[in-house]
Amino acid sequence: MTYLGVDYYPEHWPKEMIDEDLQGIKELGANIVRIGEFAWHLMEPEEGQFDFSYFDHVLDKVKEQGLSVMFGTPTATFPAWLAHKEPSILSVDENGQTRVFGGRRQYCFNSDIYREYAGRITRKLVEHYSSEEAIISWQVDNEFGHEGSDMCYCDQCHSKFQQYLAEKYSSVEALNEKWGTIFWGQTYNDFSEIPAPKPTVTTHNPSLKLEWARFRSFSVNSFTHEMTEIVREAKGSHQDITTNVSGGFFDKWFDHAENVKPMDYVSYDNYPVWGGLEKPVPPEAIAMTHDFNRGLKDQNYWIVEELMGAQGHDVIGYLPRPDQAKMWSYQAFAHGCNNMLYFRWRGMTKGAEQFCYGVVDHDNVYGRKYKEVQSLFTDIQQYERVLESRIESEAAVLYDYDNIWSWRSQIQSKDFDFNEELLRMYRPFYKRNIPIDVIPADRDFSQYKVVVVPVMQMMDESLAERLRSFASGGGTVLFSFRTGLKGKDNNLRLGEVLPGLVRDLTGVRVEEIESLTKEHALELRGEGDFAQTSGTVSVWRDLLVAETAEVLYHYQDQFYEDYAAVTKNEVGKGSVYYIGGGLNEAPLDQMAEQILEERQIEYIDSPEDVEVYRREVDGTSYLFVMNHSPYVKSFDGRQLQPYASEIIKKS
């Protein structure tokens, strides 16, 4: 069964509208609603007084319509009485400012008091509905750590951070040694002297900043796992557990793969445009988010919030054009989403999200968006077996949260952005319409043909060794700049010539480096097959000396004409590319085609902004075709209207 539905907030409307709303939702073609994730006060209006009668009524109504339910545990929005009684649950920003009641998710993950209250409402709720047949899934909390809520500098967090370090390091001397606290005379005599990295003059020790990031991840994930365990103990056997991942996952302070480990499946909230954005994020950036979510548990996933209307709190922006939101839905299904709910049934008239538009607007008219969702639900239902099928990729892009946090602790180039550097290397393969897995670097990647390793400045022996055997066994590896610069303690290694642990693999050494800016792009000189392809680098450059590698591009500015910028090294049966700077698209496109041909990976040519995603089921191909542009495009002898999407069956 493919679950198709909407996020429904019955408590936002007069009780007598429930029948009408559920009727309208049913006629939309929906078979599921998500409810309850923000309704703690309704279930516990006063401390210890649990009352589920409102949702008992809603569930009776829902069952009359034969709809299923995903129920959210309401710990993202705690009641005012709790904040009033226990203000220590409130999180604190880096300037010591308490985040007051009135927003959401402003709880401290390290508050034992909050864990107690949150655990209790979660247990009471799930126990109450453990035998409720209509409830097929529990969503734990809502978008953990989103909107800056993964960071807190309160005293509880500070003392637990020191405890975390005392448990991790055998002694404060060991920590001093590892962190190099001899620098600026910062040697600690005791763990109780170690600060939380609040604002200071100049900047904090890189190892401290990395450990603080790891501690934030531990704080968010241990809270998540504690709540999830309570749900798992209390729930019925017919009920699954998930949580909804929010966008901006590489900008968060917690490891998402670790976060969703105890879940039965991942859910994602897909908003290609949000807030004051003038236009949606690029198609490849949206596609990457799907491949990331599929990669979290290496399985297909749900979308529990798919955008239909414009969204924003105090500021909104771009309005999705007719069929554009439907097209984004097809893109999601293509990349492994197997069940989808739209956010939200009707836009709220009161509260902070008056301008988060839904399927139905405040005028309660079933208009264009209603019909667009209805047509999507009608069309997609016939493809259940395709949506449930496994996506087998031959290419993977690796990421590592320690590496991401290492870059965030020192970005080195003012224009460095991890998301952009990962997309820079993901895009050329996306444009050739091949499936790509976006996975944690500690995951096994031996089964792929191509492994892309963007700006992996943090490298340990294990990763270097796995890449070495992958390449020598016939795989193709693509590294980009600053590879292998640091160890897992976020420090450089004395006497090491970069790229350090993978110098042999790349067949180059880094002789000098320079931080560039986006505007300051440097022209390169292409060699051999690349002589006619204009190349430039911006953001950063490694000045490379080829040791065994072939040079694909040289720099050509004064003093540096002899240095290599892009190289290719043959290793065993495989090859290793080193991209020494923020390279432009044309050379990367040519390189991707060269690699796909060398590795005999089939790819599909399509016009710009036309995405084609092939899914195979029992020897039949299903091509998901998405026109991401406002222009008519043609593909496979078809005219694609602006923002059109369809599935072409190819036996």
**Chain residues that interact with ligand GLA, rule: CB under 6 A:** 142-143, 246, 269, 271, 305, 311, 343, 353, 356
- In the list ligand GLA, Zn ion, none, the entry touching 152 (Cβ below 5 to 8 angstroms by class) is Zn ion
- Choosing among ligand GLA, Zn ion, none, which partner's interface includes residue 143 (Cβ < 5 to 8 Å by kind)? ligand GLA
3-state secondary structure of 464: helix
| # binding residues, Zn ion (CB under 5 A) | 6
Cβ-in-10-Å burial (0-12, 13-18, 19+) of 17 comes to middle
If contact means CB under 5 to 8 A according to the sort of partner, which of ligand GLA, Zn ion, none does residue 564 touch? none
Q: Which is nearer to ligand GLA, 325 or 583 (CB)?
A: 325
Distance, CA of 399 to CA of 233 (rounded, Å): 33
Q: Could you say which of 33, 154, 334, 516 contacts Zn ion (CB under 5 A)?
A: 154
Site for Zn ion in 293-322 (CB under 5 A): none
Minimal distance, residue 100 CB to ligand GLA, in Å: 19
Identity of the residue, 156 or 483, whose beta carbon is nearer to Zn ion in the bound complex: 156
- DSSP annotation of 234 reads H
Please choose which of Zn ion, ligand GLA, none residue 157 contacts, taking the beta carbon within 5 to 8 angstroms, the exact cut-off set by kind: Zn ion
Residue 433 amino acid letter: N
Under DSSP, the state recorded for 236 is -
Q: How many CA atoms lie within 13 A of 409 on its CB side?
A: 26
Interior CA angle at 160 toward 155 and 163, to 5°?
A: 135
| Helix residue spans in 261-415 (DSSP H) | 283-296, 324-334, 368-380, 384-388, 401-409
Rounded to whole angstroms, the maximal C-alpha distance in the chain is: 77
Applying the rule CB under 5 A, the residues between 464 and 503 that interact with Zn ion are none
C-beta separation of 467 from 441 below 8 A: no
Helix or strand or coil: residue 430?
helix
Q: Which two tokens stand for residue 521?
A: 């792009």
Whether 429 and 389 have beta carbons less than 8 Å apart is answered as no
Residues with Cβ within 8 Å of 170's Cβ and at least 6 positions away in sequence, in order, are: none
269 binds, among Zn ion, ligand GLA, none (CB under 5 to 8 A by kind): ligand GLA
| Residue 395 makes contact with Zn ion by CB under 5 A | no
Q: Which residues pair with residue 305 across a beta bridge?
A: 269
**Binder of residue 154, out of Zn ion, ligand GLA, none (CB less than 5 to 8 A by kind):** Zn ion
Shortest Å distance, C-beta 265 to ligand GLA: 17
Beta carbon of residue 113, minimum distance to ligand GLA (angstroms, whole number): 25
Pairwise CA distance, residues 468 & 571, whole Å:
8
Name the residue nearer to ligand GLA (CB basis): 8 or 161: 8
157 belongs to the binding site for Zn ion (CB under 5 A)? yes
The piece of 66-74, 107-115, 245-253, 316-324 that touches Zn ion (CB under 5 A) is 107-115
- Report the side by side order of strands in the sheet with 610-617: 610-617, 620-627, 645-650
> Among 33, 43, 121, 152, which residue interacts with Zn ion (rule: CB under 5 A)?
152
Q: Does 287 bind Zn ion (CB under 5 A)?
A: no
Q: Which stretch binds Zn ion (CB under 5 A): 146-154, 161-169, 274-282, 381-389?
A: 146-154
CB of 271 to ligand GLA, least distance (A): 6
Identify what 311 binds: ligand GLA, Zn ion, none; CB under 5 to 8 Å per kind: ligand GLA
User: Is there binding between residue 387 and Zn ion (CB under 5 A)?
Assistant: no
In whole angstroms, the minimum distance from the beta carbon of 247 to ligand GLA comes to 8
Report how far residue 450's alpha carbon sits from residue 473's, in angstroms, rounded to the nearest whole number: 12
DSSP 390: P
Could you tell me the smallest distance in angstroms from the CB atom of residue 142 to Zn ion? 19
Q: Could you tell me which residues come within 8 angstroms of residue 2 by beta carbon, excluding any fewer than 6 positions away?
A: 338, 339, 380, 381, 383, 384, 387
Binding region for Zn ion (CB under 5 A) = 108, 110, 152, 154, 156-157
